[in-house]
Amino acid sequence: MSDFHWDLETDWLVAGAGAAGMTGAIVAHQLGGNVLVVEKESVYGGTTAKSGGVAWIPGNHRQADAGITDSAEEGYAYLRALIGEDVPQPRVRAYAERAAEMLRFMMQHSHVDYSPLPSYMDYYETAPGYKSGGRSMDNAPFNLKALGADGQHIRLGHYDDLMLPFNITVIEGRLLQDMSWRSYLLGAKLLLRYLLDVPARLRRQRDNRLCLGPALVARLRKSLQERDIPLWLDAPMQQLITEDGQVVGASVVHAGVSKRIHARRGVLLGTGGFSHNAAMRQRFQQAPIGSDWTAAAPGATGDAVTMGEAIGAGLGFMNCAWWSPSYRIPDGRVLALISGKSNPGSIIVNGLGKRFTNEAQPYEDFVKAQYAANARGEQTIPCYLVFDATYRSKYPIGHIKPGKVEADKTLPPENFTSGLLTRANTLEALADKLGMPAQALANTVARFNEHAVKGEDPEFGRGESLHDRYYADPKVTPNPSLAALDTPPYYALRCEPGDLDTKGGLLCDEFARVLYADGRVIPGLYAAGNASAAVMGNTYPGAGATIGSAMTFAYIAAQHAFANHPQEQNT
């Protein structure tokens, strides 16, 4: 090493400025480290900034405030029941036992501020250790103006000009969906707050009150600011540098110049998955697949996999993703369809005009069912959310506001000419436009309606679980997820098997250390978030499992990297 020229030296080098990367940077700095964060895109936030920002944290210290009793052991029991032996148990246990520790640390030493969602349940209520609320957590809003000039470089705009002019939290969104008097009161309050920010309105700025993923990103970025942790943008990490089998640094392009950076304590890869790498997806995942249906950030191109493979790192869960049905709006943005598929008065059908699964089930399970049905020849890619005029007037259709039939005239015509939306006065005419058997669709709807009015779905059991009913309409009885489709005109929204990002990445142990393919540790290299093989395996335990695990293993990585080199902690 003495004769090797380094352009820069630091203790902890972090690639990626999303939830994983910035969490790992803050923890390392708090433990006394000199830290550098590099981000290949021109904006920071990654896929975290395009997400709901929810974190799934079993046994967290805020649950007591909501009257919820939970423990790490119950969380571990729940995870193990779902994941089985697909992930080594020490790694699963590390998440269950240390996620709450991470949250307490971050709320003490950064601007991170989470509160439990009391009614947002785990996804699988028959699994041991299940909780009906409190593990999924909503992060608090944050004022964009607090970031100063750095606010210009946060990833924003994914939902601009869609649905509402102002931003909302998860809890606010759920209340607004109920369309009750409380919903209208909340909506009026939020709109008034938005309008009273007169300087921003005069400058035609977006809402300065950030919520969801952007709020989490802003809180982490503010924490970096206050600690003077440098964040390089437009600075891709290109290659890991090793010596005697240990990762000792990396080459990073900064201001157009490749620089060799020595990382004395280690390198943390938090670069996201490979959703936007079509070649990698076709290599590892089931067809049909590509990069056109993902809601992940464009920087998710598999950099960690590429760099890790180059030094012999093992890979895991490369065939998996955080699946969610998605749809592409005419301007090119891809949006995940999370809630609309559960509302009463709708079904999802394949190209044969038939239902193929429970529409209201967890979004990952829906896409798995979609792929399985497609493999059987049922033409489920794409599939179509079919609904009637009553649904159109009551509920959002993805990003489209509810409205009477006349409101269709105010929609950009590209919604219809692109094939995203299709409308017809009869079900048979709708089927003809979609290229499916007309009588099949009519029969499917007739059969569904017959049972829906009784609150039953004998074919797929829709609305039977607490999860199915969460995004449904509580005013509809006896089943809030079921109602007949019987009021023309009829509509269809085209949906593809999308994802929030991929799950496959570098194999890691319970300390977030990257492993060789044979299971040996690669000293000096750590990974967290979607750069690593998911601790959740091929399952999705509850809302926020992505961000919760990303932050937790970034925390664990930094704690491990600095554990053997005690330094005076920052105050």
Give 419-442 as a 3 state SS string.
Answer: CCEEEECCHHHHHHHHCCCHHHHH
The whole-number pLDDT of residue 180 equals 78
The whole-number pLDDT of residue 570 equals 34
Element housing 557 (H / E): helix 545-563
Cis (ω within 30 of 0) for the bond into 402? no
Token digits of residue 79: 């995870």
Element housing 104 (H / E): helix 89-109
Beta-carbon neighbour count of residue 450 at 10 Å? 12
Paired sense of beta strands 55-56 and 231-232, if any: unpaired
Measure the CA dihedral 323/289/329/41, to 10°. 80
The single residue listed with the structure tokens 């060789």 is 516
Paired sense of beta strands 35-38 and 8-15, if any: parallel
* pTM of the predicted model as reported, rounded to 2 decimal places: 0.95
Contact 352, 436 (CB under 8 A): yes
Question: Which has the higher per-residue pLDDT, 524 or 1?
Answer: 524
The whole-number pLDDT of residue 136 equals 97
- Amino acid identity of residue 389, one-letter, is A
Rounded Cα distance between 391 and 220, Å, is: 39
Rounded Cα distance between 461 and 17, Å, is: 41
Contact 343, 398 (CB under 8 A): no
The whole-number pLDDT of residue 49 equals 95
Rounded Cα distance between 191 and 391, Å, is: 25
Contact 550, 534 (CB under 8 A): no
Distances (CA, A) of 76 to 99, 129, 176, 269: 11, 8, 34, 26
Question: Residue 210 region, left (φ>0) first, then alpha (ψ -120 to 50), else beta?
Answer: beta
Rounded Cα distance between 291 and 279, Å, is: 9
Q: Would you call 142 helix, strand, or coil by DSSP?
A: strand
**Residue 305 φ/ψ, nearest 5 degrees:** -60, -45
Q: For the chain, give the percent of residues with pLDDT over 70.
A: 98
Distances (CA, A) of 27 to 44, 46, 262, 562, 566: 18, 19, 19, 10, 14
The whole-number pLDDT of residue 161 equals 64
422-434 as b/e: b if 16+ CB within 10 A: bbbeebebbbeeb
Distances (CA, A) of 183 to 27, 187, 190, 548: 39, 6, 11, 29
Question: Where do the domains of the chain lie, and which CATH numbers do they carry?
Answer: 8-18+229-322+502-563 (3.50.50.60), 324-499 (3.90.700.10)
Q: What's the chain's length in residues?
A: 571
Token digits of residue 143: 């004022």
Does residue 567 register a pLDDT over 90?
A: no
Q: Would you call 340 helix, strand, or coil by DSSP?
A: helix
Q: What mean pLDDT is reported for the chain?
A: 94
Mean pLDDT calculated for residue range 544-548: 97
Rounded Cα distance between 282 and 514, Å, is: 24
The whole-number pLDDT of residue 190 equals 86
Q: Which residues contact 94 (CB under 8 A, 6 or more apart)?
A: 510, 511, 553, 556
Rounded Cα distance between 464 and 452, Å, is: 12
The whole-number pLDDT of residue 566 equals 39
Mean pLDDT calculated for residue range 278-294: 95
Does residue 250 register a pLDDT over 90?
A: yes
In a 10 Å sphere around its CB, with 0-12 CB exposed, 13-18 middle and 19+ buried, how is residue 494 labelled? middle
Mean pLDDT calculated for residue range 283-288: 96
Distances (CA, A) of 148 to 103, 152, 196, 221: 26, 8, 20, 11
Rounded Cα distance between 555 and 518, Å, is: 25
Q: What angle do CA 332, 333, 337 make, to 5 degrees?
A: 130
Contact 313, 506 (CB under 8 A): yes
Beta-carbon neighbour count of residue 351 at 10 Å? 18
Element housing 106 (H / E): helix 89-109
Element housing 308 (H / E): helix 303-310
Mean pLDDT calculated for residue range 507-530: 98
Contact 296, 276 (CB under 8 A): yes
The whole-number pLDDT of residue 565 equals 46
Cis (ω within 30 of 0) for the bond into 478? yes
The whole-number pLDDT of residue 520 equals 97
Question: Of the given ranges (127-141, 196-210, 437-451, 463-477), which has the lowest mean pLDDT?
Answer: 196-210
Does residue 206 register a pLDDT over 90?
A: no
Token digits of residue 329: 């709006």
What's the pLDDT tens digit per position in 139-185? Answer: 999 999 999 999 999 998 777 667 788 888 888 888 887 777 788 89
What's the pLDDT tens digit per position in 363-390? Answer: 999 999 999 999 999 999 999 999 999 9
The whole-number pLDDT of residue 3 equals 60
Contact 44, 155 (CB under 8 A): yes
Rounded Cα distance between 319 and 183, Å, is: 41
- Amino acid identity of residue 571, one-letter, is T
Does residue 445 register a pLDDT over 80?
A: yes
Contact 374, 486 (CB under 8 A): no
Query: Mind spelling out the 3-state secondary structure of 382-393?
Result: CEEEEEEHHHHH
Does residue 2 register a pLDDT over 70?
A: no
